[in-house]
Amino acid sequence: MIAEHDWAAFDAVEEMKDHWDRPGWTSSTRAYYWMLTFPDAVPLIEHAGQCQKELRHLAFDDIDADGLHLTLGRIGRVDEIDSGHLDRLIAKAHERRPECFTLRAVPLTASRGAIRYSVAPWTPVLHLHEALSAVSAESGIPPRKPTSLLRPHLGIAYCNRPIPADVVREAIRPLRGLDAVDVPVRRARLVELRREDRAYRWQVVHSLELR
Protein backbone atom coordinates (compact mmCIF):
# COMPACT_ATOMS: atom_id res chain seq x y z
CA MET A 1 0.00 0.00 0.00
CA ILE A 2 2.84 2.40 0.82
CA ALA A 3 4.57 1.70 -2.49
CA GLU A 4 1.32 2.18 -4.41
CA HIS A 5 0.63 5.44 -2.59
CA ASP A 6 4.16 6.74 -3.30
CA TRP A 7 3.82 5.88 -7.00
CA ALA A 8 0.42 7.56 -7.20
CA ALA A 9 1.88 10.69 -5.61
CA PHE A 10 4.73 10.75 -8.12
CA ASP A 11 2.28 10.11 -10.95
CA ALA A 12 0.77 13.51 -10.16
CA VAL A 13 4.13 15.29 -10.58
CA GLU A 14 4.54 17.02 -13.96
CA GLU A 15 8.12 18.25 -13.64
CA MET A 16 11.02 17.31 -11.39
CA LYS A 17 13.12 20.07 -9.83
CA ASP A 18 16.78 20.65 -9.05
CA HIS A 19 17.26 19.12 -5.61
CA TRP A 20 20.25 21.35 -4.94
CA ASP A 21 18.32 24.59 -5.37
CA ARG A 22 17.67 24.81 -1.66
CA PRO A 23 17.65 28.18 0.13
CA GLY A 24 19.66 28.20 3.34
CA TRP A 25 22.22 25.58 2.31
CA THR A 26 25.72 26.70 1.37
CA SER A 27 29.11 24.99 1.36
CA SER A 28 29.68 26.31 4.88
CA THR A 29 26.36 25.14 6.37
CA ARG A 30 26.71 22.56 9.14
CA ALA A 31 23.71 21.04 10.89
CA TYR A 32 22.94 18.19 13.26
CA TYR A 33 20.54 15.50 12.06
CA TRP A 34 19.24 12.14 13.22
CA MET A 35 19.61 9.64 10.38
CA LEU A 36 19.53 5.97 9.60
CA THR A 37 22.63 5.05 7.60
CA PHE A 38 23.50 1.77 5.92
CA PRO A 39 27.28 1.37 5.56
CA ASP A 40 27.18 -2.41 6.10
CA ALA A 41 23.93 -3.24 4.27
CA VAL A 42 25.56 -5.06 1.34
CA PRO A 43 22.31 -6.31 -0.27
CA LEU A 44 20.89 -2.78 -0.24
CA ILE A 45 24.10 -1.25 -1.56
CA GLU A 46 24.27 -3.75 -4.42
CA HIS A 47 20.59 -3.33 -5.22
CA ALA A 48 20.88 0.47 -5.29
CA GLY A 49 23.95 0.20 -7.49
CA GLN A 50 22.06 -1.98 -9.95
CA CYS A 51 19.22 0.56 -10.13
CA GLN A 52 21.64 3.48 -10.53
CA LYS A 53 23.36 1.70 -13.43
CA GLU A 54 20.03 1.20 -15.20
CA LEU A 55 19.16 4.88 -14.72
CA ARG A 56 22.52 6.40 -15.65
CA HIS A 57 21.15 7.84 -18.89
CA LEU A 58 19.13 10.31 -16.82
CA ALA A 59 22.43 11.90 -15.66
CA PHE A 60 21.18 12.44 -12.12
CA ASP A 61 23.55 12.70 -9.15
CA ASP A 62 23.87 9.17 -7.77
CA ILE A 63 24.11 8.75 -4.01
CA ASP A 64 27.32 6.89 -3.18
CA ALA A 65 27.20 3.56 -1.36
CA ASP A 66 28.44 5.21 1.84
CA GLY A 67 25.89 8.00 1.47
CA LEU A 68 22.67 5.98 1.50
CA HIS A 69 20.50 7.24 4.33
CA LEU A 70 17.02 7.80 5.66
CA THR A 71 16.62 11.22 7.27
CA LEU A 72 14.78 11.10 10.58
CA GLY A 73 14.94 14.79 11.39
CA ARG A 74 16.96 17.96 11.68
CA ILE A 75 18.05 18.95 15.17
CA GLY A 76 19.51 22.36 14.33
CA ARG A 77 22.49 24.18 12.91
CA VAL A 78 25.77 23.58 14.66
CA ASP A 79 25.93 27.24 15.73
CA GLU A 80 22.49 26.90 17.37
CA ILE A 81 23.23 23.83 19.53
CA ASP A 82 25.78 24.06 22.33
CA SER A 83 27.65 21.09 23.79
CA GLY A 84 25.41 20.98 26.87
CA HIS A 85 22.28 20.60 24.77
CA LEU A 86 23.98 17.90 22.72
CA ASP A 87 25.10 15.95 25.80
CA ARG A 88 21.57 16.05 27.25
CA LEU A 89 20.12 15.01 23.92
CA ILE A 90 22.35 11.96 23.66
CA ALA A 91 21.76 10.90 27.28
CA LYS A 92 17.99 11.19 26.99
CA ALA A 93 17.95 9.45 23.62
CA HIS A 94 19.67 6.46 25.23
CA GLU A 95 16.91 6.28 27.84
CA ARG A 96 14.12 6.37 25.24
CA ARG A 97 15.65 4.25 22.45
CA PRO A 98 13.16 1.79 20.97
CA GLU A 99 13.81 -1.74 19.77
CA CYS A 100 15.69 -2.76 16.63
CA PHE A 101 13.58 -3.43 13.56
CA THR A 102 13.82 -4.40 9.91
CA LEU A 103 12.98 -2.08 7.03
CA ARG A 104 12.04 -3.21 3.56
CA ALA A 105 13.27 -1.08 0.65
CA VAL A 106 10.68 -1.41 -2.12
CA PRO A 107 11.64 -0.46 -5.70
CA LEU A 108 11.15 2.19 -7.01
CA THR A 109 9.55 5.63 -7.16
CA ALA A 110 10.52 9.31 -7.09
CA SER A 111 9.60 12.68 -5.66
CA ARG A 112 10.05 16.14 -7.14
CA GLY A 113 13.75 16.09 -6.34
CA ALA A 114 14.99 12.51 -6.17
CA ILE A 115 14.63 8.89 -7.24
CA ARG A 116 14.05 6.71 -4.21
CA TYR A 117 12.82 3.54 -2.63
CA SER A 118 9.58 3.35 -0.77
CA VAL A 119 10.18 1.88 2.69
CA ALA A 120 7.95 -0.21 4.91
CA PRO A 121 6.78 -0.63 7.54
CA TRP A 122 6.51 2.99 8.64
CA THR A 123 5.43 2.25 12.21
CA PRO A 124 8.88 1.60 13.78
CA VAL A 125 10.36 4.60 11.95
CA LEU A 126 7.56 6.83 13.20
CA HIS A 127 7.98 5.51 16.75
CA LEU A 128 11.71 6.27 16.56
CA HIS A 129 11.05 9.76 15.21
CA GLU A 130 8.48 10.38 17.93
CA ALA A 131 10.94 9.32 20.63
CA LEU A 132 13.71 11.51 19.23
CA SER A 133 11.37 14.49 18.92
CA ALA A 134 10.40 14.08 22.57
CA VAL A 135 14.08 13.90 23.49
CA SER A 136 14.75 17.18 21.68
CA ALA A 137 11.93 18.92 23.54
CA GLU A 138 13.18 17.59 26.89
CA SER A 139 16.67 18.84 26.05
CA GLY A 140 15.48 22.36 25.30
CA ILE A 141 15.69 22.00 21.51
CA PRO A 142 12.48 22.83 19.62
CA PRO A 143 11.35 19.91 17.41
CA ARG A 144 11.62 20.78 13.72
CA LYS A 145 8.95 18.58 12.20
CA PRO A 146 6.02 16.73 13.77
CA THR A 147 5.97 12.99 13.33
CA SER A 148 2.65 13.26 11.49
CA LEU A 149 4.45 14.97 8.58
CA LEU A 150 7.27 12.44 8.24
CA ARG A 151 7.24 10.41 5.01
CA PRO A 152 10.07 7.86 5.33
CA HIS A 153 12.02 7.21 2.15
CA LEU A 154 15.47 6.19 0.97
CA GLY A 155 16.97 8.05 -1.99
CA ILE A 156 19.40 6.71 -4.59
CA ALA A 157 19.81 9.69 -6.96
CA TYR A 158 19.15 13.43 -6.82
CA CYS A 159 17.59 15.36 -9.67
CA ASN A 160 19.98 18.12 -10.75
CA ARG A 161 17.85 20.10 -13.21
CA PRO A 162 14.22 20.61 -14.25
CA ILE A 163 13.08 17.57 -16.24
CA PRO A 164 9.64 16.26 -17.28
CA ALA A 165 8.52 13.69 -14.73
CA ASP A 166 7.19 11.45 -17.51
CA VAL A 167 10.76 10.82 -18.67
CA VAL A 168 11.71 9.64 -15.19
CA ARG A 169 8.58 7.53 -14.76
CA GLU A 170 9.31 5.66 -17.97
CA ALA A 171 12.91 5.05 -16.87
CA ILE A 172 12.08 3.68 -13.43
CA ARG A 173 8.89 1.78 -14.28
CA PRO A 174 10.75 -1.42 -15.37
CA LEU A 175 12.68 -1.43 -12.07
CA ARG A 176 9.54 -1.51 -9.97
CA GLY A 177 9.36 -5.26 -10.54
CA LEU A 178 12.66 -5.94 -8.79
CA ASP A 179 12.57 -7.78 -5.48
CA ALA A 180 12.43 -5.72 -2.31
CA VAL A 181 15.43 -5.68 0.02
CA ASP A 182 15.25 -6.19 3.79
CA VAL A 183 17.56 -3.98 5.84
CA PRO A 184 18.14 -4.55 9.58
CA VAL A 185 18.09 -1.31 11.59
CA ARG A 186 20.11 -1.62 14.78
CA ARG A 187 21.12 2.00 15.39
CA ALA A 188 20.30 5.59 14.64
CA ARG A 189 23.09 8.06 14.12
CA LEU A 190 23.39 11.67 15.20
CA VAL A 191 25.48 13.30 12.50
CA GLU A 192 26.95 16.66 11.60
CA LEU A 193 25.79 17.10 8.02
CA ARG A 194 27.35 19.19 5.26
CA ARG A 195 27.14 19.51 1.49
CA GLU A 196 30.12 18.91 -0.78
CA ASP A 197 29.48 19.75 -4.41
CA ARG A 198 26.35 17.76 -5.26
CA ALA A 199 26.42 15.27 -2.39
CA TYR A 200 25.72 15.12 1.33
CA ARG A 201 28.53 14.12 3.66
CA TRP A 202 28.54 13.73 7.40
CA GLN A 203 30.57 13.09 10.49
CA VAL A 204 29.01 10.73 13.02
CA VAL A 205 28.71 12.44 16.39
CA HIS A 206 26.98 9.57 18.18
CA SER A 207 25.64 6.11 17.30
CA LEU A 208 22.48 5.33 19.27
CA GLU A 209 22.29 1.57 19.63
CA LEU A 210 18.66 0.45 19.64
CA ARG A 211 17.45 -2.12 22.14
Name the region of 76 (left: φ>0; alpha: ψ -120 to 50; beta: rest): left
- CA 107 – CA 43 distance, rounded (Å): 13
pLDDT for the residue numbered 168:
98
> What's the Cα-to-Cα distance from 46 to each of 23, 70, 111, rounded to whole Å?
33, 17, 22
Looking at CATH, the fold of the domain delimited by 2-209 is given as Cyclic Phosphodiesterase; Chain: A, (3.90.1140)
What are the pLDDT tens digits along the chain (211 aa)?
999 999 999 999 999 999 999 887 888 899 999 999 999 999 999 999 999 999 999 999 999 999 999 999 999 999 989 888 899 999 999 999 999 999 999 999 999 999 999 999 999 999 999 999 999 988 888 777 889 999 999 999 999 999 999 999 999 999 999 999 999 999 999 999 999 989 999 999 999 999 9
- CA 116 to CA 63: how far, in whole Å? 10
Q: What is the pLDDT of residue 140?
A: 85
Look up the pTM and report it: 0.94
Instruction: Report the C-alpha gap between 143 and 134 in whole angstroms.
Output: 8
pLDDT at 111: 97
Instruction: Determine the pLDDT at residue 141.
Output: 87
| Sequence letter at residue 201 | R
Domain boundaries, the chain: 2-209
Residue 112, SS3?
coil
